[in-house]
Amino acid sequence: MARYRVTLEYAGTRYSGWQKQKNARTVQGEIERAIAEATGQRSFEFQGSGRTDAGVHALHQVAHLDIKLRVPPETLRRQVNDELPADINLLRIDPAPARFHARHAAVARSYLYQVSRRRSAFAKPYVWWVKDGIDADRMRAGAARFAGMHDFRSFSDDDPEEKSTEVLVEEVTVAEAGDLVLIRVGGSHFIWKMVRRMVGVLVEVGCGRLEPEAVERLLREDTGMPARLTAPASGLFLERVFYPRDERRLPLVPAFALATGWPGRP
């Protein structure tokens, strides 16, 4: 067996998340099926850097693959892509050291959320259309209060008795791109539904229904408000998984160019 690093993208709309499940269609399940079809092998390991929930997309998910290759990695990439549905695409397959582990070796992750200020005929699966007016400056004032180490128990459905809900948030950036408001959240790791609830709270701030200072109160108090404000999965992308020596300073731009004229990623 040799180990390979796999970089991939997917639209999560039709899938019940990343992780393979017995009775649901998932991204990991589709890729493992495609690898088996392309190689004829049934004995291999394919593991991602982390899970994404149902409906969540990825621009640069990373996984490791342990398999006996009979063809060059680039040939395998093309063969597996031929077996995959159009909404999953392997970008690269590269040889990796045996010690490389897609999840354990990652040092940081960033998520991108796209809020649309207008209705779109093309982008509905990839944005959250908010009909009310949004003040991005108010959102930036609220976003600044998320930075640092905080207990996000009220921003997650994870049980704090079973799993730590303390997370170091390194970056929460709000930018505007035409009719889009972009929110990037970066940190070492994230817990279940955390980013979508952060976005929901920031949109409430942007719409004037919460003050920016309310973020501090919601972090201190174990309240159900963030859960009620959970943003839809449609606008959320796993933007990047970072490993040692990776460049961390990336431009904050939309996920991809759309027919609406929104700018795309470089």
Contact between residue 28 and residue 17 where contact means Cβ atoms under 8 Å apart: no
Torsion of CA 33, 3, 70, 51, to 10 degrees: 10
State the first-to-last Cα distance of the chain, in angstroms, to the nearest integer: 36
How many Cα atoms are found within 13 Å in the side-chain-facing hemisphere of 41? 17
* Residue linked to tokens 């709000």: 174
Other CB atoms within 10 A of residue 262 CB: 22
If one counts every other C-beta atom within 10 angstroms of the C-beta of residue 49, the result is: 23
User: Of 53, 66, 87, 179, which one is the catalytic site residue?
Assistant: 53
Residue 53 known to be catalytic: yes
Q: Exposure of 244 by Cβ count < 10 A (0-12 exposed, 13-18 middle, 19+ buried)? A: exposed
Q: Burial letters for 25-36: b for 16+ Cβ neighbours within 10 Å, e otherwise?
A: ebbbbbbbebbb
Distances (CA, A) of 87 to 27, 82, 90, 189, 245: 10, 12, 10, 26, 30
Q: Are 173 and 184 in contact (CB under 8 A)?
A: yes
Query: So which residues are the catalytic ones?
Result: 53
